[in-house]
Amino acid sequence: MIRFEQVVKRYADGTVAVDDLSLEAPTGQITVLVGPSGCGKTTSLRMINRMIEPTAGRIFIDDQDVTAANAAKLRRGIGYVIQHAGLFPHRKVVDNVATVPLLLGQSKAQARGRAREVLELVGLPGDFADRYPAQLSGGQQQRVGVARALAADPPVMLMDEPFSAVDPVVREQLQDEFLRLQTELGKTIVFVTHDIDEAMKLGDQVAVMRVGGRLAQIADPAYLLAHPIDDFVADFIGRDRGYRALTFTSAPPLPVVSEPTVVLGATPEQARQATTDRWLLVVDAGQKPQGWVEPARIEAAIEPAMLHRGGTVAREHGPLRAALDAALSSPSRRGVLVDDDGVLRGTVRAHEVLQAIEAADRPDVDPADIAPTR
Ligand SMILES: Nc1ncnc2c1ncn2[C@@H]1O[C@H](COP(=O)(O)OP(=O)(O)OP(=O)(O)O)[C@@H](O)[C@H]1O
C-alpha cells in the first residue's frame, strides 16, 4: 500500500502544488489521480519515488517512509512510465528495457533475456527487441516504456499519462492490454491522467484533484459517478455520467434472440436465402461475428473487405453500456452479443437493453417479462 499523510509541496517560487494530501493506494490495485491541468497530479506522483521532495507530510510504501529511504535504491524498486516513453534513442529496444535489471546487478545476458521476456509480455515479440526506438510507432514506444518499467518486476508502478501521446484507437488498445496485464501481475499502481474516461476505465479507485493540489474526492468509479461530492466533481466527471455508470452495471439476463447468419465465403444466393431482412450477420467458421452485409447488394462470395464493421460487439453477461452501444452502433440496429470466447450468442435491441437497465434497479422484475415482442 502507498499512503500519503498530509503531504504538502510548495515550490521555491511559492506555488502550492499539493496541499494537505492524504490518501491510500491499496496493494495490487490501480489508483488513478485525475484532475484539471496544474492540479498537482505529477507533483504528487513524483513525490512517491522522490524525484520531488515533499515540503511537509510523509509518504509510506507499506511501512517504509520513502523520505527516509535511499533515493536511488528506492527508484530501482519502483517502475516509472511517462508520456512519450522517454526511451534512450541511441540504445536498442532490448537495451532500453534491460537498463534497470543491469543496474540491479544482473549480467548483460540475464538482463537481456529478461528484457525479451517482458517485451513479449507487452506484445512486442522477436525482432522488435533489436530495433531502435525511432523505428517503432508511438504506441509501440509506449509499450516499450511499460516493458522497461516492468523489467525488474517492481511491486509498485507509477504511470504519468503513459497513453496520452497516441491516437484514440491505439490508446484504447494499450489500455485494454494494460488491464489484461494487470490482472496477471497485480501491481500496486498510481496512474496520472487528465482524461476522466481513462480514469474511470482503468481505476479501481479514482482520486479527483482540484487546482491548488487538494483532493476533492476519492472513491471507486461507480460510486463517484453515482455520488459526486460537489459541483466540481460532478462537472469534472461529465454530464453523461448516467450513461457512463452503465459501464459498471452488469446485465440481468438480456432477451437474446438468435440471429440468422452466413459464414465468410457464402454466395450471394446463400445470403439472400438466409434472411429477408436488409442486413445479414456474417460469422467465421468458429461462429465468431465478423460484420454485416446487405444480401440484396452483394454480387460475389462474401469476403472480409465487403463487411460493414461499424458495429461493436458486446459480451452477453458484460456491462449494459457495451450492450447498448452494440445495439446503437449496429447497422441493423440489432446489437451482437457473444460469449466469453467471442462466439455468437444472438442479438438484442436498444429498447430491450433499456428495459434491462430499468430492471437492474428492480431486481424483482425479469426483463424478459416486460420486453415487448419485436
Ligand atoms: N518546478 C516547479 N516550480 C514551480 N512551480 C511548479 C513546478 N513544477 C510544477 N509547478 C506548478 O505546480 C502546479 C502543479 O503542477 P503539476 O505538474 O504537478 O500538475 P499536473 O496536475 O500534473 O498538471 P498537468 O496535467 O498539466 O501535467 C502547477 O501550478 C505548476 O505550474
Residue 27 banded pLDDT, cuts 50, 70, 90: very high
φ/ψ of 344, rounded to 5, equals -55, 130
Task: Please say if the pLDDT value at position 102 is more than 60.
Answer: yes
CA of 44 to the centre of ligand 1 (A): 10
**pLDDT (average), residues 9-13:** 95
What gap in Å lies between CA 252 and CA 360, rounded to an integer?
Answer: 6
Task: Please say if the pLDDT value at position 252 is more than 90.
Answer: no
Residue 43 banded pLDDT, cuts 50, 70, 90: very high
**Ligand 1 pocket test: which of 8, 11, 46, 211 has the largest number of ligand atoms within 8 Å of its C-beta?**
11
Which pLDDT value is given to residue 358? 82
pLDDT digits (tens, 9 = 90+) for 109-158: 999 999 999 898 888 888 899 999 999 888 888 889 989 988 888 999 99
Q: What percent of the chain lies above the pLDDT cut of 90?
A: 57
**Contacts for 351 with CB less than 8 Å, ≥ 6 apart:** 371, 372
Q: What percent of the chain lies above the pLDDT cut of 70?
A: 95
**pLDDT (average), residues 362-373:** 45
Strand partners, 61: 2, 64
> Of 133-137, 204-208, 256-260, which gets the smallest average pLDDT?
133-137
More confident residue, 368 or 136: 136
Domains by residue range for the chain, with CATH: 2-244 (3.40.50.300), 261-359 (3.10.580.10)
Q: Which atom of ligand 1 is nearest to the CA of 16?
A: 12
Which pLDDT value is given to residue 81? 87
Task: Please say if the pLDDT value at position 349 is more than 60.
Answer: yes
Residue 319 banded pLDDT, cuts 50, 70, 90: confident
183 burial via Cβ count (<10 Å: 0-12, 13-18, 19+): exposed
Please give the ipTM for the structure prediction. 0.95
**pLDDT (average), residues 5-31:** 96
Closest-CA residue, ligand 1 atom 30, reads 38
Which pLDDT value is given to residue 251? 63
pLDDT digits (tens, 9 = 90+) for 62-95: 989 998 888 888 888 898 888 777 788 899 999 9
**pLDDT (average), residues 19-42:** 95
**Contacts for 256 with CB less than 8 Å, ≥ 6 apart:** 316, 337, 345, 346, 347, 348
More confident residue, 348 or 249: 348
Cβ–Cβ < 8 Å for 100, 72: no
Closest-CA residue, ligand 1 atom 4, reads 11
Closest-CA residue, ligand 1 atom 17, reads 42
Neighbour count for residue 295 (Cβ, 10 Å): 21
Model pTM score: 0.76
Could you identify the residue written with the cell 434497479? 361
pLDDT digits (tens, 9 = 90+) for 157-201: 999 998 887 777 778 888 888 898 899 889 999 999 988 889 999
Which pLDDT value is given to residue 361? 62
Closest-CA residue, ligand 1 atom 31, reads 38
**pLDDT (average), residues 14-35:** 96
Ligand 1 environment, Cβ below 6 A: 11, 13, 15, 17, 35, 37-43, 194
Which pLDDT value is given to residue 32? 97
What's the mean pLDDT when you consider all of the chain? 89
pLDDT digits (tens, 9 = 90+) for 287-306: 999 999 999 999 999 999 89
What gap in Å lies between CA 190 and CA 48, rounded to an integer?
Answer: 9
Which pLDDT value is given to residue 373? 38
CA of 193 to the centre of ligand 1 (A): 14
